[in-house]
């Protein structure tokens, strides 16, 4: 091989980092995203279309934004948001109603990009309460892994043990490798019948959102808040920690508009990456910060490759028994759950509101057709407000005897 065909040393590291970040992130979250769409009532064709459009969309945004601003700007879908959708299956919505919520979330993200006051309002929600809301949503999935390990020990325990082993050695690869192993074991049981009817490219059926107030608020508001609290705000902070001041208006505005467009194909959201951003923006991607944008640019190209196989992956996930799918999703969400629990307990003064938020969120209740994530946030903020309400001073009455 000629020297001209070999990547330059200063380009080789970011290319590898971008490849690793996109492969590990996609492999770890495919099942979660598909589970969320299925819980919202999407058909196999609609699920394949949504996954393809989302992958293509955030691959495009990653490449364009990274090249335009010469920063490692990584755009992904909201994994916690997908988990929220999967946990909201009990609402019994039709897919068109859920898509109305996706549309609303995209509109709010767009407004946030061009109206910073809304972002500041979201930032006023204490991190402990936002994290407790997320932890409550993820709790259902984490315990599903434990339950499935009792019912399917030969299928579940091997990939759980592999995850714990790799989490000590190479945390970045722990989740994707464990998930690949899990689906390999599951495939050995379910067979290859799922290949029948699977297609390389989706049908691209347009989904017309149902603009019904309760479903839109039940899905759209929590999805927006989860996306902001668990993706956009941490992602911005992570990038700032590596010395990058993001063009917030461009990032939030473009992801919001892209989410609105994707919603007409069943897509639930695009946003700034957090973990993937940390991989692409650190010094292992390139010692020169000015060269790290190549990592997220390459990562965007990798997302396009995954988009091509979205139909086959969706067909396989649909063939997996629900209990086993939840077990795989649970192990994938375990790091996010641990992080959310840790943040929710950091401030001693906010522990009670955070605990109430977690409990309400974990119950999966639905009141007036609105899911538990919304009521968890409301409950936590009410308790926080009660704690901060000044108590009246108990003074003596005028007729009280003096000592």
Q: Report CA-CA distances (Å) from 125 to 249, 380, 385.
A: 21, 10, 11
Q: What is the pLDDT of residue 315?
A: 79
SS3 37: helix
For residue 269, what are its two tokens?
């959201």
Pairing of strands 370-371, 75-76: unpaired
Q: What is the per-residue pLDDT for 4?
A: 45
Helix axes 351-363, 322-344, angle to 10 degrees: 170
Local structure of residue 230 (DSSP, 8 states): I
Q: What SS3 class is residue 246?
A: coil
Q: If you average pLDDT over residues 123-140, what whole number do you get? A: 84
Q: What is the pLDDT of residue 395?
A: 56
CA atoms within 13 A on the CB side of 335: 18
d(CA 323, CA 334): 16
The yes-or-no verdict on residue 306 having pLDDT over 90 is no
Global pTM reads 0.79
pLDDT digits (tens, 9 = 90+) for 326-374: 888 888 888 888 888 888 888 888 899 999 999 998 887 777 666 777 7
Polymer length of the chain:
403
- Compute the distance between CA of residue 217 and CA of residue 398 in angstroms, rounded to an integer: 53
pLDDT in tens, 180-195: 898 888 888 877 777 7
d(CA 292, CA 64): 14
- As a whole number of angstroms, the distance between CA 382 and CA 304 comes to 44
Best-predicted range by mean pLDDT (91-105, 234-248, 338-352): 91-105
Residue whose structure tokens are 């339950």:
147
């Amino acid at each position: 091989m000629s020297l001209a065909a070999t990547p330059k040393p200063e380009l080789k590291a970011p290319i590898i980092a971008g490849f690793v970040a996109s492969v590990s992130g996609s492999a770890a979250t495919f099942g979660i995203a598909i589970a969320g769409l299925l819980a919202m009532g999407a058909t196999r064709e609609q699920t394949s279309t949504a996954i393809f459009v989302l992958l293509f969309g955030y691959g495009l945004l990653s490449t364009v934004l990274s090249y335009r601003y010469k920063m490692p700007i990584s755009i992904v879908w909201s994994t916690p948001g997908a988990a929220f959708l999967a946990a909201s299956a009990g609402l019994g919505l039709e897919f068109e109603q859920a898509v109305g919520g996706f549309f609303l979330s995209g509109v709010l993200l767009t407004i946030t990009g061009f109206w910073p006051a809304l972002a500041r309002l979201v930032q006023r929600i204490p991190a402990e309460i936002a994290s407790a809301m997320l932890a409550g949503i993820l709790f259902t999935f984490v315990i599903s892994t434990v339950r499935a390990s009792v019912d399917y020990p030969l299928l579940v325990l091997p990939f759980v043990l592999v995850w714990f082993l790799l989490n000590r050695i190479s945390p970045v690869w722990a989740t994707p490798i464990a998930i690949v192993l899990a689906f390999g074991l599951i495939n050995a049981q379910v067979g290859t019948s799922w290949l029948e009817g699977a297609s390389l490219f989706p049908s691209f059926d347009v989904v017309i959102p149902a603009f019904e107030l309760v479903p839109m608020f039940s899905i759209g508001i929590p999805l927006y808040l989860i996306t902001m609290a668990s993706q956009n705000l941490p992602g911005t902070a992570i990038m700032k920690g590596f010395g990058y001041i993001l063009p917030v208006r461009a990032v939030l505005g473009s992801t919001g508009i892209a989410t609105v467009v994707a919603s007409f194909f069943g897509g639930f959201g695009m946003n700034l990456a957090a973990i993937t951003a940390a991989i692409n923006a650190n010094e292992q991607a390139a010692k020169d910060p000015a060269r790290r944008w190549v990592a997220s640019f390459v990562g965007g190209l990798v997302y396009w490759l995954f988009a091509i196989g979205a139909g086959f992956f969706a067909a396989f996930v649909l063939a997996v028994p629900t209990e086993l799918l939840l077990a795989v999703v649970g192990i994938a969400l375990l790091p996010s759950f641990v992080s959310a629990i840790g943040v929710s307990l950091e401030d001693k003064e906010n522990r009670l509101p955070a605990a109430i938020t977690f409990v309400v969120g974990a119950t999966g209740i639905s009141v007036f057709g609105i899911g538990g994530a919304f009521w968890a946030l409301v409950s936590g903020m009410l308790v926080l407000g009660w704690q901060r309400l000044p108590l009246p001073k108990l003074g003596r009455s005028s007729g009280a005897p003096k000592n």
